[in-house]
Amino acid sequence: MSLVYEDHGREVFACRDVDLEVGANQFVGVLGPSGSGKSSLLYLLSGLKDPSLGRVLYGGNDYSQMTEGERGELRLRKFGFVFQQPFLLGYLSVIENVVLAGANSRGRALDLLDRVGLREKAHRMPSALSGGEKQRACVARALYTEPEVIFADEPTASLDHTTGENVIDLLRTLRKGALVVVTHDPSMLEDANRVLRMEEGVVTEVV
Ligand SMILES: Nc1ncnc2c1ncn2[C@@H]1O[C@H](COP(=O)(O)OP(=O)(O)O)[C@@H](O)[C@H]1O
Ligand SMILES: [Mg+2]
């Protein structure tokens, strides 16, 4: 599939002729410079954007055959997301932010917060957490629904190296399904099953 943007009448291929299948439990890393199309690839894989050419299937079903509601439901129930900036609702406590993802179980949320080292801070407001702690709360939220796929878009980019590695390790070890991580930093992908490289929208397999 391809994703083409129009920029002042010029075509920009954010993704170009990508032919990719992510296996059920794979940890797939995506490396590439800024602007190479990494976020666009995640948007296509998660059904957030429609390809300009070609198709994207999830579990054999074409996203273009699903309604917006069905896609939204899929993202909410089956996918987990972690972004570069930790998105937490500032007016809810950490545990409330985790439970927000569905499957109303505070016990489960607390268990996950324990695993990411935030049990003691579960009832704090996000503003009382460090950047690394906020990101770990987002990791707990992404894991909470036991998603079939976690999409992480530069989840370590705003963290120091060790804190970043810790976030990747938590995603890798606590996940129940596939993990797709976009990053600038190859050392975050040492345990990945596959490493892809993006360059001007083109994906090549490194490992
Ligand atoms: N909404 C948009 N409109 C036009 N061009 C876009 C848009 N979003 C991204 N692009 C362009 O698509 C290319 C890939 O962007 P992106 O997927 O965000 O790359 P990355 O995540 O690797 O930094 C870039 O050239 C970017 O400028
Ligand atoms: Mg990006």
Would residue 192 count as lying in a domain?
Answer: yes
- pLDDT, tens digit (0-9, with 9 covering 90-100), for 181-200: 999 899 999 999 999 999 99
| Section 61-89 average pLDDT | 95
Q: From the CA of 13, how far away is ligand 1's center (Å)? A: 9
Q: From the CA of 36, how far away is ligand 1's center (Å)? A: 7
Expressed as residue numbers, the domain containing 70 is 3-89+145-205
Would residue 200 count as lying in a domain?
Answer: yes
Would residue 103 count as lying in a domain?
Answer: no
Q: In the chain, pLDDT over 90 holds for what percent of residues?
A: 94
State if residue 8 touches ligand 1 by the CB under 6 angstroms criterion: no
- pLDDT, tens digit (0-9, with 9 covering 90-100), for 18-33: 999 999 999 999 999 9
Would residue 159 count as lying in a domain?
Answer: yes
pLDDT band at residue 206 using 50, 70 and 90 as cut-offs:
confident
DSSP state of 144: H
**pLDDT at 102 (0 to 100):** 80
Rounded Cα distance between 60 and 56, Å, is: 9
Residue 36 has pLDDT above 80, yes or no: yes
Would residue 196 count as lying in a domain?
Answer: yes
User: Which of 147, 162, 145 lies closest to 108 in space, CA to CA?
Assistant: 145
Residues 74 and 66 sit within 8 Å (Cβ to Cβ): yes
- pLDDT, tens digit (0-9, with 9 covering 90-100), for 81-137: 999 999 999 999 999 999 998 877 999 999 999 999 999 999 999 999 999 999 999
The H helix count followed by the E strand count for the chain is 6, 10
State if residue 2 touches ligand 1 by the CB under 6 angstroms criterion: no
Q: How long is the chain?
A: 207
Rounded Cα distance between 152 and 135, Å, is: 11
User: How high does pLDDT run on average in the chain?
Assistant: 95
State how beta strands 194-199 and 27-31 pair: parallel
Shortest-distance Cα residue to atom 11 of ligand 1: 14
Rounded Cα distance between 49 and 44, Å, is: 5
Q: From the CA of 2, how far away is ligand 1's center (Å)? A: 13
Q: Which of 12, 16, 49, 52 to mutate to test the pocket of ligand 1 (most atoms within 8 A of CB)?
A: 12
Rounded Cα distance between 112 and 141, Å, is: 8
Would residue 57 count as lying in a domain?
Answer: yes
Number of domains in the chain: 1
The enclosing domain of 82 has a CATH number of 3.40.50.300
pLDDT band at residue 207 using 50, 70 and 90 as cut-offs:
low
pTM attached to this predicted model: 0.95
Would residue 102 count as lying in a domain?
Answer: no
197 alpha carbon, closest ligand: 1
Would residue 29 count as lying in a domain?
Answer: yes
